Amino acid sequence: MKIVSGSLSRNELTELAAGKFGFVKAVVDLGRGILAVDAELHADLEALLLQDGSKQTDLWGINLHPDAEGDALVEYDSMINIRPSQGNRSRDVQDPALRRKILDLVAKKVLS
């Protein structure tokens, strides 16, 4: 598990995916503009970021597919995304504006 405050190359992402599920689990912190990657559970990455000073309301679980391009790079599916108090009643991030923020952050952090 690691926190990415700088950037992550597509090659690094591909290497991480090869050792796991073919994709990389990640949690983005929209408030701090960082993400954590490389764990078996999104909850582990969430805990890492919370210990590092992140706020729960800013954290969203995603999966990164290194072989995909554009919007297909990000899958918005995680148990940590079930947040009725924030209007998200699904594992999927339902708000299109929130999805755009996540995708924009990933685009800044994952370099081709």
Q: Mean pLDDT across the stretch 39-55?
A: 97
CB 80 within 8 Å of CB 88:
no
**Per-residue confidence (pLDDT) for residue 20, from 0 to 100:** 75
Per-residue model confidence (pLDDT) at position 17: 94
Mean pLDDT of the 26-49 span: 97
| pLDDT at residue 111, as a whole number | 87
pLDDT for residue 19 is more than 90: no
Mean pLDDT over each residue of the chain, to the nearest integer: 95
> What's the rounded mean pLDDT across residues 10-36?
94
What are phi and psi for residue 88, nearest 5 degrees? -115, 105
Q: Write down the pTM of the prediction.
A: 0.95
* Mean pLDDT of the region 43-57: 98
How many Å apart are CA 21 and CA 43, to the nearest integer?
Answer: 16
- Sorted by where each begins, the domain ranges of the chain are 2-111
What pLDDT does residue 70 have? 86
112, pLDDT greater than 80: no
